[in-house]
Amino acid sequence: MPAAPAPVAFAAAFRRVALIGRYASPGIAEPLIGLASFLFGRGHDIVLDAETARSTPMPGYPTAEPEALGALADVAIVVGGDGTLLSIARQLAVHNVPLIGINQGRLGFLTDIPLAQMEEALDAIFAGHYVEEQRTLLEARVTRADGSHETALALNDVVVSRGHIGGMVDITVEIDGHFVYTMRADGLIIATPTGSTAYALSAQGPIVHPEVPAIVLVPVAPHALTYRPIAVSDAVTISITLEKARDAAVHCDGQAHLAFEEGDSVTIRRAPYPVRLLHPEGHDHYATLRRKLHWGETPERLG
């Protein structure tokens, strides 16, 4: 362990910091080591995500597997991209641990602090100058024809889709026990407001502000063009039954994959706990949308 630093002021609420980096990402070692040194110099206790430590060895700091991090940290800092934050957020949400995203490379919706500004931004956040958001988390429970169950969480979306063999899927959708439709399509996206700017957006779904308590159902290439995206309350329970398919699966955030066969159903509802995100003071969701989606840019500037 590095030598103990001279006492410095820090926010007691965030004394224990979990540090997570994008696994095996080129160039990740330098900012991770620099961040750990910065945090230790401020008097924080640091615990490294075990997988991060395996791909980027940082001797001298304790490590823990993701499922144990939540009990050891007051806050988690993710260095990488939105995919890295999605993965760890699903595991830490149950522990009520807030997350701070440091973006390594392209602008992210969730990892919104640039590497070059991370020390300045973290100083301000640890001094209490931050904006907190609570993002809806979905729980997907697949019930198989034999009665067995499998559950996964999603911060962006739960997607029922055709598999590698190809061919459309026939699905029946119910909301709070009410029949909605039976649809033939490439798939169906069930997205949170967070996920409305991800896969759902490319399928012509609406952008939903994170504070809107809604879930969006977005068909993917439906056989009939009259199937349109719909938004419902995030208090509902959505049930999707696979009626017919050559091959299908349920995907949570594109990272957790559940087998889905004819006769199986997946029930999707809001998880009992949210994901907590901390942003720098003055964080503006609309400004993020403008930058990420290039609103207002002319074709010559985009080229």
Average model confidence (pLDDT) for the chain? 91
Would residue 82 show up in a list of annotated catalytic residues for this protein? yes
Same fold, 12-135+275-302 and 138-270: no
**Percent of the chain at pLDDT exceeding 90:** 80
pLDDT digits (tens, 9 = 90+) for 23-76: 777 788 899 999 999 999 999 999 999 999 998 888 899 999 988 999 999 999
pLDDT digits (tens, 9 = 90+) for 14-28: 999 999 998 777 788
- Output the CATH code of domain 12-135+275-302: 3.40.50.10330
Distance in angstroms (rounded) separating the CA atoms of residues 215 and 236: 9
281: Cβ contacts below 8 Å, ≥ 6 apart = 124, 129, 130, 131
Distance in angstroms (rounded) separating the CA atoms of residues 247 and 237: 25
- Output the CATH code of domain 138-270: 2.60.200.30
pLDDT digits (tens, 9 = 90+) for 116-148: 999 999 999 999 999 999 999 999 999 998 889
The band of 301, judged by pLDDT with boundaries at 50, 70 and 90, is low
Residue 303 has pLDDT above 90, yes or no: no
* Catalytic member of 49, 82, 253, 264: 82
Listed by start position, the domains of the chain span 12-135+275-302, 138-270
Amino acid at 253: D
